[in-house]
Amino acid sequence: MIGLLHWLQMATSVEGTISQVLVTLKSGVRDEAEKSIRDAVIRYGARSSSFVRNLQDGSQLKLLNSSGVPFPRWFAEQFFSGVLSPYLLNVAIVHKVFHLTQIDCFEMPSSYACSLPLRKTLYGLVLAAEEGSDVAVEEFDREGKNMVRRLERPSYEVSRFGRLPKLHKIEELDVLTRRRLFDCIFEFDACALKYPEPLHIMLAVVSYWLQHACSPTNENLLRSLLLNTVLLRLLPQATQSSKKVCGKPRSTSDDPNPIHIQEVLLGVQDQQMTQVVIDETCKNFSKFWSRPTHNHARHFDADLVYSCCQLQTCLMFARSINRVLLRPYSNVQFHRSFNGTFLYNFTKELDTRPKPDLFIAEYLGRGSPLEVAFSGFYKEFRSILPDCCFERRAVPSRKKKKNRNVRDKHTDEEESEESVVLLTNRFADL
């Protein structure tokens, strides 16, 4: 290798070097080898692009689709500035995407399956200029334990809205229209809930995920999700003494524009959320931020993680749709709304409780303004979701426990009577 590098360093021209290499090869493979070498040399050469020219002389950014038609300027600028993800560029240019496998249950469909309608609408927004042609996006996704290729056609219509706007028309739409389009894509009626704007996009995604999940979801996971959203607003305000947790989320402390608890739970006033209340609440839930421990008695819950993975794909494509629509919901911080460790730990804890709502109320302070506001928040959001979204879980029955105690009592009495009979028979012949 050292000799090869030294020889290449001493070479005077590309053509002369290629000729010297070809002389050492058999005549039957020279043509193919020459083509491969020249293709490799071209790939290593400097290639011009609108992005490079923009950095050099400030020229306008251009992004062309597969037909050579330029995308709108705002779309190119958002991509080159890092606002739009490379996933969208793969959709726009090569019409091919790879879905990275998450922690899935192999016997279940891919966790990306529930977000397929979202992706098809996203494809329709990005590829609207190619409508009418036989365009499709190649998706490589997991099926069982293998990767498979599927062709997905873009959707160009949305229920309750109509035809999707083309990319160059999105700039002309006002914020309310773009927001209505987003809500229609997620089949969500924001007017049905009387809660602040920062919650709308999060609730829209959660509602969509629950109604399109591959299997019914554990309702305790929904309780944990909504409670997690509230607690992550309290943690930055808590004192260090109440944050003694191993896995405390660090992303909440450096938020330049934090969403306060009053913007999430209506009816909670500033004077009611004293430092003592905040610290006590955070302390009560502190153990659920720590890394879970698994052993022969506490098994890993793959179904619960699989449900969270489905939610994660919906969140990912919701963020892309929101950005393609020029952010009708501006204050979107999904990474500051959920914590996977808390969701897992607290959902597993609620599964052991016969009355999960009562357990949450006790931890929030039964009858406190925070508990009353959260209870109303959960009940109002739960009321718009159909019961078929949730699985039926067996609740620990107190009656069974009582019957077992009665049965044990009868057994003890029978054993006592038997011992008396034996004792009587033993002395009968004396």
39 and 94 assigned to the same domain: no
d(CA 393, CA 395) in angstroms, rounded, equals 6
Mean pLDDT in the chain?
Answer: 83
Nearest to 78 by CA among 160, 151, 167: 167
Q: What is the mean pLDDT of residues 311-340?
A: 90
Q: What is the mean pLDDT of residues 59-75?
A: 80
Q: What is the pLDDT confidence band of residue 247, given thresholds at 50, 70 and 90?
A: very low
213 and 129 assigned to the same domain: yes
Amino acid, single-letter form, for residue 27 = S
Whether 68 maps to a domain, the answer reads: no
pLDDT for res 430? 36
Q: What is the mean pLDDT of residues 372-378?
A: 90
304 and 381 assigned to the same domain: yes
43 and 91 assigned to the same domain: no
Q: What is the mean pLDDT of residues 399-408?
A: 55
Whether 362 maps to a domain, the answer reads: yes
Three-class SS of the chain? CHHHHHHHHHCCCHHHHHHHHHHCCCHHHHHHHHHHHHHHHHHHCCCCCHHHHHHHHCCCCCCECCCCCECCHHHHHHHHCCCCCHHHHHHHHHCEEECCCCCCCCCCCCCCHHHHHHHHHHHHHHCHHHECECCCEEEEEEECCEEEEEEECCCCEECCCEECCCHHHHCCCCHHHHHHHHHHHCCCCHHHCCCCHHHHHHHHHHHHHHHHCCCCECHHHHHHHHHHHHHHHHHHHCCHHHCCCCCCCHHHCCCCCCCCHHHCCCCCCHHHCCHHHHHHHHHHCHHHHCCCCCCCCCCCCHHHHHHHHHHHHHHHHHHHHHHHCCCCCCCCCHHHCCCHHHHHHHHHHHHCCCCHHHHHHHHHCCCCHHHHHHHHHHHHHHHCCCHHHECCCCCCCHHHHHHHHHHHHHHHHHHHHHHHHHHHHHCCCC
Contacting residues for 214 by C-beta, under 8 A, at least 6 apart? 108, 109, 113, 114, 310
pLDDT for res 200? 86
Contacts 24+ apart (CB under 8 A), 413-422: none
275 and 160 assigned to the same domain: yes
Whether 322 maps to a domain, the answer reads: yes
197 and 296 assigned to the same domain: yes
pLDDT for res 218? 94
20 and 95 assigned to the same domain: no
Contacting residues for 418 by C-beta, under 8 A, at least 6 apart? none
89 and 32 assigned to the same domain: no
Sign of the alpha-carbon torsion through 31, 34, 36, 38: negative
Whether 58 maps to a domain, the answer reads: no
pLDDT for res 336? 77
**In angstroms, how far is CA 326 from the centroid of its own chain?**
21
pLDDT for res 66? 72
pLDDT at 376 > cutoff 80? yes
Q: What is the mean pLDDT of residues 132-149?
A: 90
Whether 306 maps to a domain, the answer reads: yes
Whether 21 maps to a domain, the answer reads: yes
Q: What is the pTM of this model?
A: 0.78
> Using alpha carbons only, what angle is made at residue 409 by residues 406 and 411, rounded to the nearest 5 degrees?
115
143 and 42 assigned to the same domain: no
Q: What is the pLDDT confidence band of residue 96, given thresholds at 50, 70 and 90?
A: very high
Which range among 197-201, 267-271, 322-326 shows the weakest confidence by mean pLDDT? 267-271
Residues 365 and 280: beta-carbon distance below 8 Å: yes
Range of the domain at 222: 84-237+261-389
313 and 184 assigned to the same domain: yes
pLDDT for res 418? 46
Most confident of 132-136, 279-283, 335-339: 279-283
> Using alpha carbons only, what angle is made at residue 221 by residues 220 and 226, rounded to the nearest 5 degrees?
100
227 and 359 assigned to the same domain: yes
195 and 268 assigned to the same domain: yes
Task: Name the domain count of the chain.
Answer: 2
